[in-house]
Chains A and B, each alone.
Chain A
Amino acid sequence: MKTIAVLSHAIPDDWFEGLEVALVREAECARHAPVPLRAGVCGSLAFLPALLAEVDGLVLTTSCDQMRRAAEWLSDDACVFLFNFPSTLHQERLLEAEKGRLVKWLKGLHERLGEKNDCTTQLGSGHDRAWPSTLNPEPFTCTAGGCASTSDARTSGYQDASIKDGKETLSIGVLGGHFCGDQQRVVWFFEERGIRISVWGCEGGERVGDVFQRPNTLFYDQAQAVIAERHLDGILVVRTTWCDVWRLAAVRLHEVVTVPVLEWVLDSQCQGQSFPDGSSTTRLEAFCELLRARRQEGT
């Protein structure tokens, strides 16, 4: 069994069914020491070298330009696979060819690491691009179905967390790309204020559409559907300083959804004991107060 980190929502778990690989779906930034980065680089890249040292292979996609550059920056073709993921919806041929290439890479990885696993099979075809089936009604359920995801331990903690006065509980969704902080601390932060995170839509969590698609109308449709289905009171959009795609997606969400949206910039340097830092705490508390006020007003 090899452990592969697949850091993109675009590649679903069911592609790996029967391939005897354990999937890691997020960088778990809170556990890893960041490396210093230059200005302009996505903060989530800071954790990739440490992650790569822990797993057998790392799969990134071209859906984000920073990840495309990260694959090159890590300089390890044997252990890092860059999946050429189309940004348009009509490129089935490219998608299929890339799936074939991924299988070959996995096979090569197993051979290189001295373990003969059967990776000659095709990847699963359960990838519904128009409406992905990852909208799980249970919050914080591990999305790496059946696999030994490193997020298991943390997610089980969230589900057991008791929330006082369930009827009055406010709930929010967290959307964004790679999350550079400690997910548990964020959950605690909101729980302490009587707010439940019902949707964790950052990488490694639920897949709420594909923000990178062009045009990405489906993403906003799906975000609105999630808000309605889960009765969300607000949306927190988390992004790194240099993430252009989520920066403007947050602006658009403000325009199209009917619940409050707060943008939260979180970088690798924000990680650590001080999290959430003073500035973040003030913003997040203001957001919580707004949600409570809206609830009281019956908005």
Chain B
Amino acid sequence: MKGLLAALDMLMPKDSCLPKVCQGPLQRHAQGGDRRLLHLDFHLSPASHDLWNFLMTEEERLHAARKSGKVIVGALKDLGTIPILVNAYKNAVAFYPDGAWWLPCFKEQSTHLMPVADALGAGEGLCPVRAMLGAFELGCHFPIPDVMFCSTGAICDDFKAIAQRLVERGHPIHFWEMPHVRAAQADESAIELSNGLRVPALARDVVQDELRRISKKLDQEIGEPINEEKLQAAIVRSNRVRALLARIRSSALPSLERLICEMMALHYCSDYACCEAVLARVAEEAENLDIDAQMKPVYWINPVADVRAMNLLEDAGGRLCGTDFMFTHALAPLDEGLSPFDTLARMALADPMAGTIRARMMACLVDATRSSARGIIVSRIPGASHCAFEASMLTSFSDLPVLEIEIPSLTDLVAPLLMTRLQGFIESI
């Protein structure tokens, strides 16, 4: 059952799994500026209430972590690898500044993040992650991390340019090399990744060396030496979250909440223990939901800058049956039998964005077929360099119908057009 924010607040759990400071009515977030919440249709359940409260209290939790003496580590761009490493340290918390790309959506453009980014040269030609630049400049949406790491190399040019701009604005970043991922040639020493791709062993060695370099830097910054046992324990903990997400992904949880849950895989929303508790509760409840046979199963590619797009999909008669929100490597189980740095290096290399678009699109098609999708929606991110190639590549070999749409940070103005396209597509599949 779905409903508005006030209806969800009626279901505020008495036995919330969140710390006391994070509990309370969700409407307080809307009053505090997260106005998008007033325009979303939520899954009405106590678990959903906790999920949203957990998401919306990240800033407060980060400030509390800093007050308690923890080091805030910014993990930029890699979408999930560095946070596992950080999670191995007791006295550190991983934060994902790229997540600021949702601020223009949740704040409904009321925070001037985009105009500030514009003023720094990062205009509309870049993807909405440029909001992160505005957020750093304004310094009022999250505590500035104590140390930051950013993958570079085989990453999108948007982020590469914005990360450099952050450095120029006085935010030092430790860059680490993410090589372009290609299939190994017959005469090359190769390893296999979780996605089945065989890649040169050298690529693994390069990334592994980079991760060791980062861990040394973290040792210094946090003042707490890491060892392989601690890292192994962090990997096991990460697998617990991934197992919960696998349960959620195969359930009938509505699309909006599913998107939020999957995003937790990136950095556990800055609190691993709480994240696990919240997801466990959501998974338990989601598994008891029945799939609405009237809703047509759709596979969705790319994250959306406006979370309301997930509501629009359901309003149009579709439901998510599978997704590639650009971080499938953060969802696949990690190999606990390898050395921890090897495991993390393989995870990083399985990042679908570091390889070819063809490989990613083919993996999406396989996943879509496996999940009985009736069609695939490729959701373009405005200005993102990789998006220009995806739908045309997929269409060239997909036997499932493909719809390409673009989701801006606020869909309100284009919602009628989007709905028409979504309805037309879903009706015809």
Contacts and interface: CB of A to CB of B under 8 A. Distances in A.
B388 A216 contact: no
Contacts of B356: 72
A86 interface: yes
Contacts of A66: 157, 385
Interface stretch (B158-166, B341-349, B412-420): B158-166
B206 A244 contact: no
Given A84-B182, A88-B153, A94-B177, A212 B160 contact: yes
Contact of A245 (B161, B180, B200, B202): B161
A241 interface: yes
Contact of B168 (A72, A212, A241, A255): A255
24 contacts: A40-B383, A40-B384, A65-B160, A68-B180, A69-B388, A72-B357, A82-B182, A84-B182, A86-B177, A86-B179, A87-B175, A90-B177, A91-B206, A94-B177, A94-B202, A212-B160, A214-B173, A215-B167, A242-B388, A244-B157, A244-B385, A247-B122, A247-B125, A252-B121
A135 interface: no
B47 to A, nearest CB: 39
B206 A65 contact: no
A87 B153 contact: yes
Contacts of A84: 154, 179-180, 182
B155 interface: yes
Interface string B174-201: 0111011010000000000000000010
Nearest to A75: B358
Nearest to A96: B202
Contacts of A94: 177, 179, 202, 206
A171 B160 CA distance: 31
Contacts of B87: none
Interface in B349-385: 356-358, 380, 383-385
Given A40-B387, A66-B385, A242-B385, A93 B156 contact: no
B73 to A, nearest CB: 18
A153 interface: no
Contacts of A73: 389
Contacts of A113: none
A152 B276 CA distance: 64
B147 to A, nearest CB: 15
Given A65-B155, A87-B160, A252-B168, A242 B179 contact: no
A41 B385 CA distance: 7
B205 to A, nearest CB: 8
A65 B162 CA distance: 14
Interface string B141-161: 000000000101111111011
Closest 10 CB pairs between A and B?
A251-B121, A40-B388, A214-B152, A244-B157, A65-B157, A244-B161, A214-B175, A248-B161, A87-B152, A62-B180
Contact of B392 (A38, A90, A93, A248): A38
A38 B388 contact: yes
A71 to B, nearest CB: 9
Given A215-B173, A248-B162, A69 B179 contact: no
B120 interface: yes
Interface string A132-156: 0000000000000000000000000
B168 A242 contact: no
Q: Which of A39, A69, A90, A243 has its CB near the most chain B CB atoms (within 10 A)?
A: A69
B126 interface: yes
A33 interface: no
B158 A244 contact: yes
Nearest to A241: B125
A262 interface: no
Contacts of A39: 388
B386 interface: yes
Nearest to B356: A72
A250 interface: yes
Contacts of B179: 62, 84, 86, 94
Contacts of B163: 214
A243 B123 CA distance: 12
Contacts of A88: 152-153, 175-177
Contacts of B150: 214
A41 B389 contact: yes
Given A38-B388, A241-B125, A247 B161 contact: yes
A55 interface: no
A94 B10 CA distance: 57
A64 B386 CA distance: 12
Contacts of A245: 157, 160-161
A67 B104 CA distance: 30
Given A65-B160, A212-B160, A242 B154 contact: no
Contacts of A251: 120-121, 165
B357 to A, nearest CB: 6
Q: Which of A87, A243, A250 has its CB near the most chain B CB atoms (within 10 A)?
A: A87
